Amino acid sequence: MAEYKWPPMDKRRVMGKRIARLDGPMKSSGRAKYPSDMNRSDLLFGALLTSPHAHAKVTSIDVTAAKAIQGVTAIRVVSGPGTEIQWAGTEVAAVSAVTEEIARDAVKAIKVTYEVLPHLVKEDNLAKVGARAKAAGEQVTGDPDKAFAEAEAKTSGDYGIPVITHCCLEPHGSVVAWGNNKIDFWPSTQAVSTVGGDLAKMLELPATQVHVDCQYMGGGFGAKFPADRWGAEAARLSKESGGRPVKMFLDRATELTIAGVRPSHFAKIKVAGKKDGTITGWQSESWASGGIGGGGMAPLPYVFTNIPNRRMNHTQVSLNTGPARAWRAPNHPQASFLTCAAITDFADTIGMDPFDVFFKNVAVSARPEIYRKQLAKAAELIDWKKKYSHGAKKTGTLRRGLGIGIATWGGAGHASKCKLTIHPDGSVEVEIGSQDIGTATRTCITQVAAETLGLPMSAIKVKLGDNSYPPSGPSGGSTTIGGVSSSTRKAAVNALEKLFEKVAPSLGVAPDQLEADDSRVVAKGNPAKAMSWKQACQKIGPSPISEMGENEPRTAAREGLNTQGASGIQMAEVEVDIETGVVRIIEVVAVQDCGLVVNPKTAESQVAGAMIMSVCSALMEERITDQTTGRVLNADMEFYKLAGLPDVGKLTVHMDITPEHDARGIIGLGEPCAIGGIAAIANAAANALGVRVPMVPLTPERVLAALANRRNA
């Protein structure tokens, strides 16, 4: 039976090495073609007419004037008379034309009348949402009433984290051409193997008729799995335009309004405990919204899941806003912020260093020893014990503070199939229906294949981004690296065994006594019996060796190639100007484990990117809606603020690579490193100010308001 386990850490030649992304030169030189770069011959341009109302019923729609515009090739009514609109930005009609300008002019020429209905687009004040609130029930463990009655110390605080959008550099969209018996589909997608089936279902066609091609995509954080209504309408516009390809990508305003958001989360949290820092009780009343469907309860208390006495109540709030979609660790950044803020405030109340309170209470987490080691390492990197002082002791206009955030995640590999082919000339091809969403998936697959076959990476050609290759799961939940690495490893081992069977007679040894190393096939323990890789491949004959490998989530943990369960700690140092309210990042430190690390360089890049996203969320990023009009006020890149280089500060990444973690196999990384940063930055600001800013982002207005409230208290 084939032996698939990973080579020992000290025996690896390619895996575990700091290798630059193979697609870096293509991207940095502008040669990489993203879906939005697909300018096919005879291309048409699509545009959407969207609803200006947050809640309304379409009463009539007239496309006569739009159809009369020269250059318009097709118009489709998406939301006809009688349709109830539940959020501003809902698609009402779609147009294709020979230029973008004509398509937009045609959209403006469509006449729609609406019956405007009552709407709700703000949820920060639960008392004002009325019947749009729906209780999700109460969860009780232990005896929280007794715990709070007997507590030596208690704290109570209000905390909030708002809705943010995905804001991908490449917006949602696609180029699509409806041919005679085939649809060619170039979507910006996180799901190469499944998005074609989704489009086919919407068009009521066999999935086999949709060919998907996505070699590069400009950002996807959980919102780019389906074909979406605009993808289906682009296909129908193509059909009605004689099969000409239609390019339809959302404009920035529509992207930020309807293409997916991370839900808000608000909570009133009480913590009970002892003066030595031991937490004995937790009580939270939370509410959230991600749109018309409300918002589920975040996993509270986060990480500290075994606090003995807990009571949690949650309310879902239905809003007339664009719907939620998975956003890099769904509900975890919110839960980490709410939990870590409450625990930090408890530490502040009893006069203890938050580090000591976190260190003590990770005993009630699922992985206490790992968190203690990570806390100690992060504290060493940021020099916590030297720099920390209680917020009440700080003076001066510019005040510095430290804060902690914590994270956990699953990250087991998704289902994945891979085909590896060894050709008689010695060349090797890997085919896999995965996608590289900017996370170095191509590079890591190449490393795994090269490691297994004993070849340099330059000898491996990886082909992905096409649904004609063996299916592999969507890139969500940090599942890709485990899935594709495992299937690639298995395919390579299987192919190598077939090659050994061909070569063994020539070397006079049994096939199981051969190994591949340094571009040679060698007898184990007898390097004199060997031949070069090319010589070995000449023994194949005229037909190449092609073998499949598969990662099956049901059995993966037993096999040990990939597992789940990642932990991480982030610490932040900030400086706050108490006169202007401006918060400046000095440094953010991340200590993160993810099992076996295929490529430390690209892993660190993943973590750094997540830290930058956390800076955005902590300091400036939020969707702002207007209750009067029901619209998003900052659906543009001028007022939807993101961090620039001067805002980020120093980023220090420490991958927690140890033999113990490595032995667990590969664990996904994309999500866990995006969780703890907001909490760390918010807690650092609270430490600097000596007062909690209850809601992020930490805008100057909110910082100054918190200081004013303290003075007026």
CATH of the domain at 224: 3.90.1170.50
Q: Are strands 566-577 and 583-592 parallel, antiparallel or unpaired?
A: antiparallel
From the CB of residue 5, how many other CB atoms can be counted at a distance below 10 Å? 11
* pLDDT attached to residue 696: 98
DSSP assignment of 210-259: EEEB-S--S--SS---S-HHHHHHHHHHHHHTTT--EEEE--HHHHHHHS
- With pLDDT > 90 as the criterion, what percentage of the chain qualifies? 98
- Average confidence (pLDDT) over 126-137: 96
Flag whether 287 is in a domain: no
Residues 56/85, Cβ–Cβ less than 8 Å: yes
Integer Rg of the chain from CA = 28
Indicate whether 606 belongs to any domain: yes
**Which of 471, 467, 469 minimizes the C-alpha distance to 200?**
467
- Whether the predicted pLDDT of 1 surpasses 70: no
What pLDDT, on the 0 to 100 scale, is given for residue 485?
98
> In this structure, are 521 and 605 located in the same domain?
no
Q: How far apart are the C-alpha atoms of 188 and 305, rounded to whole Å? A: 38
Average pLDDT on 202-226 reads 97
Question: Would the pLDDT of 430 be above 80?
Answer: yes
555: Cβ contacts below 8 Å, ≥ 6 apart: none
Q: Does 620 share its domain with 698?
A: yes
First CA to last CA distance, the chain: 72
Among candidate residues 556, 582, 597, the one where a domain is terminated: 556
CA distance to 407, 606, 611, 669, per residue, from 673 (Å): 7, 8, 7, 7
Share of the chain above pLDDT 70, in %: 100
Residue 284 has pLDDT above 90, yes or no: yes
Q: Binning pLDDT at 50, 70 and 90, where does residue 239 land?
A: very high
Examine residue 301 and say whether the peptide bond preceding it is cis (omega within 30 degrees of 0): yes
Helices marked H in 459-552 — which ranges? Answer: 480-507, 533-537
Write the CATH number for 661. 3.30.365.10
Same domain, 65 and 188: yes
CB atoms within 10 A of CB 268: 16
**The predicted structure's pLDDT at residue 402:** 98
**Phi-psi region at 542: left, alpha or beta (left = phi > 0; alpha = psi -120 to 50):** alpha
Q: Which residue has the higher pLDDT, 710 or 219?
A: 219
pLDDT for 107 equals 98
pLDDT band at 683 (very low <50, low <70, confident <90, very high): very high
pLDDT for res 646: 94
Tokens of 112: 């729609």
Element (H, E) at 429: strand 428-431
Q: What angle do CA 39, 185, 51 make, to 5 degrees?
A: 85
pLDDT at 225 over 90: yes
In a domain, 357, yes or no: yes
Q: Are residues 407 and 421 in the same domain?
A: no
pLDDT at 292: 97
Q: For residue 241, report the phi and psi dihedrals to the nearest 5 degrees.
A: -105, 25
The answer to whether residue 700 is domain-embedded is: yes
| Distance of alpha carbon 244 from alpha carbon 86, whole angstroms | 33
Q: What is the pLDDT of residues 66-91, one digit of tens each?
A: 999 999 999 999 999 999 999 999 99
152: in domain: no
Among all chains, which residue has been given the structure tokens 């118009």?
Answer: 75
What single-letter amino acid sits at 105?
A: D
Q: At 396, which amino acid appears?
A: G
Q: Supply the pLDDT for residue 2.
A: 83
Integer Cα distance of 702 and 711 in angstroms: 14
The number of helix segments (H) and strand segments (E) in the chain equals 20, 28
> What pLDDT score was predicted for residue 564?
97
Average pLDDT of 501-515?
Answer: 97
Domain assignment of residue 214, yes or no: yes
- Does one domain contain both 332 and 238? no
Distance of CA 544 to the CA centre of its chain: 38
pTM equals: 0.97
Residues 355 and 436 in one domain: no
Q: Which two tokens stand for residue 565?
A: 């369960």
For position 392, what pLDDT does the model report? Answer: 86
**Burial label, 538 (beta-carbon count in 10 A; 0-12, 13-18, 19+):** middle
Query: Which secondary structure element, helix H or strand E, spans residue 332, and what is its range?
Result: helix 332-349
> For residues 116 and 68, is the Cβ–Cβ distance under 8 A?
no
Q: Find all residues with CB under 8 Å of 458, minimum gap 6, and list them.
A: none
pLDDT band at 584 (very low <50, low <70, confident <90, very high): very high
Q: Using the 3D structure, point to which of 201, 222, 249 is the last residue of a domain.
A: 249
Domain limit, last residue, from 220, 249, 278: 249
Together in a domain, 189 and 55: yes
What letter would DSSP give residue 472?
B
Q: What average pLDDT score do residues 375-384 get?
A: 98
For 424-437, b/e burial (b = at least 16 CB within 10 A) is eebebbbbbbbbbb
389 and 475 inside one domain: no
The pLDDT-based confidence of 711 (bands split at 50, 70, 90) is confident
pLDDT for res 710: 85
What's the whole-number average pLDDT of the chain? Answer: 97
**Chain centroid to CA 290: how far?**
17
Question: Parallel, antiparallel, or unpaired: how do β-strands 246-249 and 91-97 relate?
Answer: unpaired
DSSP letters spanning 626-646? -TTT-SBTT-STTTS----HH
Q: Please compute the mean of the pLDDT values over residues 231-253 and round it to a whole number.
A: 98
Give the per-residue pLDDT at 634. Answer: 98
pLDDT digits (tens, 9 = 90+) for 551-583: 999 999 899 999 999 999 999 999 999 999 999
Indicate if 610 and 695 belong to the same structural domain: yes
Residue 712 has a pLDDT of 80
* 460-489 pLDDT per residue, tens: 999 999 999 999 999 999 999 999 999 999
How many residues does the structure list for the chain?
A: 713
Residues 620, 542 share a domain: no
pLDDT, one tens digit per residue, over 135-169 is 998 999 999 999 999 999 999 999 999 999 999 99
| Domain residue limits at 636 | 328-411+564-712
Closest Cα partner for 479 from 412, 561, 544? Answer: 412
Following CA atoms 240, 246, 252, 253 in sequence, which dihedral angle do they give, to the nearest 10 degrees?
-10
Is 387 part of any domain?
yes
Number of structural domains in the chain: 3
Q: DSSP for 118-151?
A: ------S-GGG-GGGEEEEEEEEES-HHHHHHH-
Pairwise CA distance, residues 188 & 553, whole Å? 26
Same domain? For 436 and 510 the reply is: yes
pLDDT tens profile 172-205: 999 999 999 999 999 999 999 999 999 999 999 9
Tell whether 231 and 349 lie within a shared domain: no
DSSP secondary structure, 276-318, as one string = TS-EEEEEEEEEE-SSTT--PPP-SS-S-TT-SEEEEEEEEE-
Question: What is the token pair recorded at 343?
Answer: 């625990």
